[in-house]
Chains A and B, each alone.
Chain A
Amino acid sequence: MVELAQVWDWLAKVPDPEIPVISVTDLGIVREVAYDGDTLVVTVTPTYSGCPATAVINFEIEKALRAQGVDKLRLERRLDPPWTTDWLAPAAREKLRAYGIAPPIDGTRAQGVVAGRISRLTGAALVVACPRCGSEQTQKVSQFGSTPCKAAYQCRDCLEPFDYFKCI
């Protein structure tokens, strides 16, 4: 049987289908790799419950491991604890920025309407730096960007529109 550390290494090379500069382990969605008898069990948690990439991610994981000769394999889904952007590896955040996506700012996930309004009223609105020029003069265009995990922003200095990987 293959060493688990080796399996983790292989998984670290499986790219996220939506954001191919980061891997499934960078994203923090592989929660556990273990053997059940002689069957390798990979436990994956979904990012967003409706994320269409989830099925593709499972397929890519299975394909990558089978290509390495793992033939007894099972993928399991785990919902609890729910995925959070806090699990994004530090190196992955820099990869996101270089790719043009502003990485999540920890501790800023939506708390619902009251917290959102208080932050607006007190002017403590989220400052998201432009991944292209670094300016903090940016504005939110929409709570939802090209995918549920991102918000749409625009830089007021370089005028570039960009995605912000929002905190959840």
Chain B
Amino acid sequence: MSVALDLDVALFEGLCRLGDSTLVLGHRVSEWCGHAPVLEEDIALANVALDLIGQTQMWLGLAAEVEGKGRDADALAFRRDVWDFRNLLLVERPNGDFGQTLMRQFLFDAWHQPMLKALEGSGDPRIAAIAAKAGREVAYHLERSADLVIRLGDGTPESHARMQSALDRLWPYTGEMMMSDDTDRALADAGIMAAPDSIRPQWNALVAEVLSEATLKAPDHSFMHKGGKQGTHSEHLGHMLATMQWLQRAYPDATW
């Protein structure tokens, strides 16, 4: 009994890690709406944000169901404070310039796609179904972000310098995606979710291949930030939530 109970707690955590990461990245990307360098990119960014927020509804909807305390996806998204968020630190990084936004997207997509592929094999059919659905959308995200990283990296001296600078800034936030903690290991042992460290070989291969074609060089230092998945965030997330949650905080249960 106590084992089953613990596994449900781990499952809630695991689902929040997925759903909060897609939520925070989706919100960040949506901040570009109306500000992108060209119309087509503006629309593409909005579409990617929309996919991510749709996926959030599925992940957090399931998290709320597993938790069984009467909350729903909206309650989790809009009524939790920063320390309850379980997203990766990478996705809460501010947008910066277009190059930084794209590099963040690529580094995430290169993890997101193989992770979803692995989750399609989950022993929990609800997780497998969401992963299969989301995976088809994310395949398009990855094709686009990898393509643009190559084009801008291997582009003009200005675009190359900006992409290299984006890579240098974001690199220390990539390690967390592939670090497994006790929660991850409990879920992996139960056959419910793939362990993050099992994604490492695919991520390394994909990133190395794209960066090489983009004529970009990964930094050789190995220091990696961590803590987002356990609720320890940078100052940026609180500011983002203040904007994102404002309406539900000021007017709880507002509808139209």
Q: Which residues of A are interface residues toward B (Cβ below 8 A)?
A: 46, 48-52, 79-84, 109-114, 116-117, 141-148, 152, 166, 168
Contacts and interface: CB of A to CB of B under 8 A. Distances in A.
B125 interface: yes
Nearest to A51: B54
B50 interface: yes
A82 B139 CA distance: 14
Contacts of B142: 110, 112-113
| Interface size class, chain B | 35 or more
B47 interface: yes
A148 B147 contact: no
B136 A50 contact: no
B136 A142 contact: no
Given A80-B129, A113-B206, A168 B136 contact: yes
A35 to B, nearest CB: 25
Contacts of A50: 50-55, 57
A49 B134 contact: yes
A110 B51 contact: no
Interface string B46-69: 011011111101100000000000
Contacts of B147: 113, 116-117, 143
A49 B133 contact: yes
B55 to A, nearest CB: 5
Interface stretch (B2-10, B37-45, B80-88, B230-238): B37-45
A39 B136 CA distance: 34
7 contacts: A46-B133, A48-B54, A51-B54, A52-B50, A113-B210, A143-B143, A143-B144
